[in-house]
Each structure stands twice: as structure tokens, then as C-alpha cells.
Amino acid sequence: MGEPITAPVAPTTKTISGFSPDAGKGSDRKDDFAGRVGRGLLALAALLALALVAAASASAGPASTRIVQTAGEIVPIPAAVPHEEGDMVDSRIVPDLRWIAQHFSIYVTDGYSGPLPNGEHVGCNNCHVRGSDHYNGLAVDVVPLNGTSGKCDTTWTGITRLALWAEPVQNKPALPFRWVGYDGDAGHGCGNHLHLSWNHAPASRFELAEWVEVFPVGSAPPRQPRQPRPKSPPKPPPGPAGGISSVRSGGLSPRGD
């Protein structure tokens, strides 16, 4: 018998490009994995962006406000709110000031600016524009507690947060604030001071407003519809304390600095 014939081994099949049919399978898997990771990161980024927008909206101003129609009076700012000696405000905004001082590191440099029954003048005399809410005790000027005077630095971070909370969009203050003076407003801003005014009934200079809009303090309430301002304010209470009169009518400038 002749020698056994050994069948030849067929060479590895190649494609037209010269690569094995299995070539590229590993890279396909890698590409698919990278694609899934990329898509996941994009989805995560979108969710984070939505969360940031929602957080910004939720933190813009107080959750609700209310109208205080009881009589107010000009009273000393309490010790719980750091302030210059002798500063006073309308009693109806004191709870809001306490809350602000608990959540932001503030120092009040001026509140009510006007006469008292004994003839004494409190506040910065002739420092404010005509029609300022300072003349009604419904505005305060604040700077950082233990901050750097005249210089915009990191000590102003809390004041900037407060300004953005009270006015998320320039010239569109959140209720109950009537006017917020900070960056973008002449004579105000980081390194200078933040001005906060509360909404109130029309009142002339050195007169107590019939009503004031404030935000409830204490446990954070859910957002509620804003209460409508009274169409016909009640008669002014007789003889309020503080050396300024009640008012039935009057006018204020568009700004309350």
C-alpha cells in the first residue's frame, strides 16, 4: 500500500479587506460600551440641569406672603439682628428681619430715617432719595457682618445670596419685597450695600403705611397663592407710636432707596 494521504489544511478565510471574519468584534463591543456610557452621561447631565433649574426656582424668594393690616409702630431693631446702635424700623417687618438674620450673615446699617416724638432724628439724615421707604420704616440697608467695607470680596458671598434670593431677576423682586438695590443699581452692590424694601400701602414721608406685605416665619410653609392687596384699606389707627403719622393716601417713587 502506498503512503497515507494527508488532507491539506484549508487556510483561514479572509474577507476582501484581508481581515478575518472575527476581526473587529472586540472593537465593536468597546464602541458599543463607550456609546452607552456617553448616552448615560448625557442623560445624567440633563437631569442635573433640570434639578438645578428646579432648585433655583424653589429658592427664589419666600414660599408665601401675607398682608399685615394691624397698626405698626417705629421700634428699635432687636439685638437678634446685628445693627448700628439706634437703628429702628416698622414693627411689622421685625419678624422677617429676625428670619433673615438667622439665615444670612447681615449687619443693618440703616432702617427708619426720620423724626421721633421727642424731636430726635434717627437714621441717616438726608441720605436717601425722595420717596424712599426708609422714611416709612419699611426698608433696611445691609452689609456683611464682619465683612470688608468698601471692597467686594468673599465676605460678601452671603449678602449676594440674599440679594439673589430677594430678587432672582434684575428689577423683578420676589414678593414681599418692593425694591431690591444691589449689583446693577447705582450706589448699591457688592462692596457697597444691599437695600431691601417691603411692599406696603401708599404712604407719604414719615407716615406709617396702613398695610405691609411680609412673609410668614417659623417652619417653612408650602408655597401658597399670594394674598391680594386690600382694595379699600381700613381706616388708619389713631395715634400710632413712633413719631410718624398714619396715612390714607400718598405716593412713593418707583424706587424705595
Is residue 82 in some structural domain? Answer: yes
CATH code, 148: 3.30.1380
Q: Which residue would you say has higher pLDDT here, 256 or 41? A: 41
Percent of the chain surpassing pLDDT 90:
53
CB 166 within 8 A of CB 173: yes
Is residue 117 in some structural domain? Answer: yes
Write the burial class of residue 49 (CB in 10 Å: 0-12 exposed, 13-18 middle, 19+ buried): exposed
Is residue 30 in some structural domain? Answer: no
Q: What is the mean pLDDT of residues 221-247?
A: 42
User: What is the total count of domains within the chain?
Assistant: 1
CB within 8 Å of 72: residues ≥ 6 apart: 90, 91, 92, 137, 208, 209, 212, 240, 242
The letter for the amino acid at 71 is: A
Confidence category of residue 184, pLDDT binned at 50, 70, 90: very high
CA-based nearest residue to 106, from 131, 87, 80, 73: 80
Can you give the pLDDT at residue 128? 78
Can you give the pLDDT at residue 201? 96
Confidence category of residue 60, pLDDT binned at 50, 70, 90: confident
Q: What is the mean pLDDT of residues 92-117?
A: 96
The helix (H) or strand (E) run that includes residue 18 is none
Q: What is the mean pLDDT of residues 172-190?
A: 96
Q: Which residue would you say has higher pLDDT here, 185 or 236? A: 185
Is residue 160 in some structural domain? Answer: yes
194-198 and 139-144: which strand pairing? Answer: antiparallel
**pLDDT reading at 38 higher than 70:** no
Q: What is the span of the domain harbouring residue 134?
A: 66-246
Can you give the pLDDT at residue 16? 38
Is residue 252 in some structural domain? Answer: no
Is residue 113 in some structural domain? Answer: yes
Is residue 210 in some structural domain? Answer: yes
Can you give the pLDDT at residue 58? 41
Q: What is the pLDDT of residues 121-180, one digit of tens each?
A: 898 877 877 889 999 999 999 999 999 889 999 999 999 999 999 999 999 999 999 999
Q: What is the mean pLDDT of residues 84-90?
A: 97
Q: Which residue would you say has higher pLDDT here, 230 or 181? A: 181
For residues 177 and 196, give the distance between their C-alpha atoms in angstroms, rounded to a whole number. Answer: 7
CB 64 within 8 A of CB 226: yes
Is residue 46 in some structural domain? Answer: no
**pLDDT reading at 19 higher than 50:** no
